Amino acid sequence: MLENLAIHSHGIRQIGTPGMDGTEGVTQCPVLPGNTFKYEFKVDRPGTYLYHAHYGMQREARLYGSIRVSVAGGKIESFAYD
């Protein structure tokens, strides 16, 4: 069975790109079966973020993961953590 698709991220501030948030029917129309969609946004803070699908059983079927954003080259984080 083919389903619509929307990928939602947690923790990434969608400043200026609310349509990339992936909340179907709220900030984004779903990607229909057979179509493609390219998510484009800026991440303004380093860190590890979570993304997951937002339809039916896709999350339970393991359509989720993490996005790791490192500090830009030549820059130093303002605090240290372990």
pLDDT in tens, 13-50: 999 999 898 888 888 888 999 999 999 999 988 889 99
pLDDT given at position 80: 65
Beta strands in the chain (DSSP E): 7-10, 47-53, 64-69
Judge whether residue 79 has pLDDT over 80: no
pLDDT at 61: 79
Please, what are the domains in the chain?
A: 1-82 (2.60.40.420)
Q: What percent of the chain has pLDDT over 90?
A: 43
Convert 15-31 to b/e letters by CB count within 10 Å (16 or more is b): eeeeebbbebeeebebb
Residue 81 scores a pLDDT above 90: no
Read off the pLDDT band of 3 (50, 70, 90). Answer: confident
